[in-house]
Amino acid sequence: MKILKVGICGWGNVATGMFNAIESNNKFIKQSGVNIDISCIGARRDNPKCNPGNVPVFRDIFEIPDQDIDVVIELIGGVEVARELILKSIRAGKHVITANKAVIFNHGDEIFAEANNYNVKVLFEAAVCAGTPIVKMLKEELASNKIKKISGMLNGTSNFILSNMEEGNEFKSTLELAQQEGYAEPDPSFDIDGVDAAHKIGLLSYIAYGLSLPPKEFYIEGITKIDKKDFIYAEMLGYTIKHLAVSMDNDESIELRAHPALVSKDSYLANLKGVRNGIEVDTDLVGKIHIAGSGAGQESTASGLISDIIHLANSNNNMLNFVSSSDEKPIKEFKEFSFQYYFYIEVEDNPGVMASITTALAESNIGIESMVQKEDLGNNLVPIILISDIFKENKLEGIKEKILSLSSVTNLRTIRIESTD
């Protein structure tokens, strides 16, 4: 049986969750031929929720790479200190396993190049969707495939909030519930502004398409502008609303984006609720593959971390880390993307208002697939729901300004519609 000595850096919820999982599931782990020996812990303070027993604890996390261990498990979070710790571990000849998506997103190229120089591995399965095994699937099981498109809900907090809004709840109260349940941080901006999902799709694009880390700038939008009324009208049209992260190979360039979108109610992703992550991978050899699982929490993240430990113990240590492509394709400018759009337009109930909106669209050469005036909102205000034909993103701000300039229009929201082709 292979014995792997590990040192844990960080002693928060993720680290203690992994420690407990190794202790409680050790029988199953050993069935894979691996004995995980937790040899030391780096923690600035104790965690009353978990007693490490006789495992030595170092208050300086930078002492961990100097110990007699095989692997450093980086669970301190953040970016710059984590980068420094990972690089020190690599230079000490230690493999590294991390759940820290931000440090890999921002410094991945440097970290993997250094790991190759020192013939050690850096694994990050738990950094993308926790224990849902998408990283290994792309790197290994689908290595012979051309990845045509990756799309999915990569942030459990956003999916939880949108799922609850779909049931008629307000954004603010649902965010507060997510914080009470531990799905959202006290400062939830990383999740609700789309940054977390953007980091994850960046890492998957690095594997699938050889993009640099960090990738060049791409479009990121969160869920804060979505209103619960949008779900009512979306359902009437056969859609629901999800926060999607998408990466697609267009031969000449790579599409990379993270934003809310209307998706067909009949689609696989539309039916994944709560904190679940769901990913659809479209390939040339095996077609579309769906994978879903918990994207957050101690247990799920622990599963991803332990799977990397077992993978490391059973793999060929001479295998190099994946590196970005030398002939990397450019990221397509978002203004060149084309979508259908959902428009929510709040107007004063005056004669001719619908005609003025259709005229504004026609003047911009934008067609209308459907347009309907809904029930009175009170105060002489009515909503108009409009689905446009496909047009380029670079026209969107202009047409929004034109519609908002109409005297009867009081409010306007737009959401992109994701193609199911």
3-state secondary structure 311-348: HHHHCCCCCCCCCCCCCCCCECCHHHCEEEEEEEEEEE
Chosen domain end from 262, 293, 324: 293
Apex 23 CA angle, 17 and 29, nearest 5: 100
Name the domain count of the chain: 3
For residues 241 and 366, state if they share a domain: no
Which residues are identified as catalytic? 200
For residues 175 and 222, state if they share a domain: yes
Kindly state whether residue 325 falls inside one of the protein's structural domains: no
Question: Whole-model pTM?
Answer: 0.92
d(CA 389, CA 342) in angstroms, rounded, equals: 10
d(CA 86, CA 269) in angstroms, rounded, equals: 35
d(CA 170, CA 94) in angstroms, rounded, equals: 48
For residues 12 and 31, state if they share a domain: yes
For residues 105 and 20, state if they share a domain: yes
At 234 the three-state DSSP class reads: helix
Kindly state whether residue 322 falls inside one of the protein's structural domains: no
Q: Are strands 122-123 and 95-98 parallel, antiparallel or unpaired?
A: parallel
Residues whose CB is less than 8 angstroms from the CB of residue 75 and which lie 6 or more positions away in sequence, other chains included: 8, 9, 10, 12, 14, 15, 18, 98, 99, 100, 305
d(CA 247, CA 148) in angstroms, rounded, equals: 9
Chosen domain end from 261, 293, 325: 293
Whose tokens are 């670079």? That residue is 394
Kindly state whether residue 209 falls inside one of the protein's structural domains: yes
d(CA 365, CA 395) in angstroms, rounded, equals: 10
For residues 113 and 180, state if they share a domain: no
The enclosing domain of 395 has a CATH number of 3.30.70.260
Kindly state whether residue 25 falls inside one of the protein's structural domains: yes
Q: Which domain holds residue 364?
A: 334-417
The pLDDT value recorded for residue 184 is 84
For residues 34 and 68, state if they share a domain: yes
| Structure tokens belonging to residue 138 | 């792309």
Q: Are strands 254-264 and 409-417 parallel, antiparallel or unpaired?
A: parallel
Q: Are 103 and 83 in contact (CB under 8 A)?
A: yes
Cα atoms found within 13 Å of the Cα of residue 305, Cβ hemisphere only:
32
pLDDT in 10s for each residue of the chain, 421 residues: 899 999 999 999 899 999 999 999 999 999 999 999 999 999 999 999 899 999 999 999 999 999 999 999 999 999 999 999 999 999 999 999 999 999 999 999 999 999 999 999 999 999 998 888 999 999 999 999 999 999 999 999 999 999 999 999 999 999 999 999 888 888 999 999 999 999 999 999 999 999 999 888 899 999 999 999 999 999 999 999 999 999 999 989 999 999 999 999 999 999 999 988 999 999 999 999 999 988 777 888 999 999 999 999 988 765 667 666 657 899 999 999 999 999 999 999 998 999 999 999 999 999 999 999 888 888 889 999 999 999 999 999 999 999 999 999 999 999 999 987 6
Kindly state whether residue 212 falls inside one of the protein's structural domains: yes
The pLDDT value recorded for residue 375 is 81
For residues 194 and 106, state if they share a domain: no
Q: Are 245 and 154 in contact (CB under 8 A)?
A: yes
The pLDDT value recorded for residue 276 is 87
Cα atoms found within 13 Å of the Cα of residue 111, Cβ hemisphere only:
31
For residues 287 and 371, state if they share a domain: no
**Beta-carbon count within 10 A of 367 CB:** 12
For residues 288 and 308, state if they share a domain: no
Kindly state whether residue 289 falls inside one of the protein's structural domains: yes
The pLDDT value recorded for residue 421 is 65
Cα atoms found within 13 Å of the Cα of residue 413, Cβ hemisphere only:
19
For residues 253 and 156, state if they share a domain: yes
The pLDDT value recorded for residue 216 is 87
The pLDDT value recorded for residue 353 is 92
d(CA 305, CA 131) in angstroms, rounded, equals: 8
For residues 390 and 367, state if they share a domain: yes
Cα dihedral 389, 394, 396, 402 in deg (nearest 10): -110
The enclosing domain of 148 has a CATH number of 3.30.360.10
Kindly state whether residue 242 falls inside one of the protein's structural domains: yes
Chosen domain end from 237, 264, 293: 293
The pLDDT value recorded for residue 94 is 97
Please report which helix (H) or strand (E) contains residue 112, including its range: helix 101-117
Q: Are 2 and 62 in contact (CB under 8 A)?
A: no
The enclosing domain of 93 has a CATH number of 3.40.50.720
d(CA 113, CA 324) in angstroms, rounded, equals: 10
313 — phi, psi (to 5°)? Answer: -65, -35
For residues 275 and 370, state if they share a domain: no
Kindly state whether residue 323 falls inside one of the protein's structural domains: no
Please report which helix (H) or strand (E) contains residue 27, including its range: helix 26-30
The radius of gyration of the chain's CA atoms, rounded to the nearest angstrom, is 24
The pLDDT value recorded for residue 411 is 95
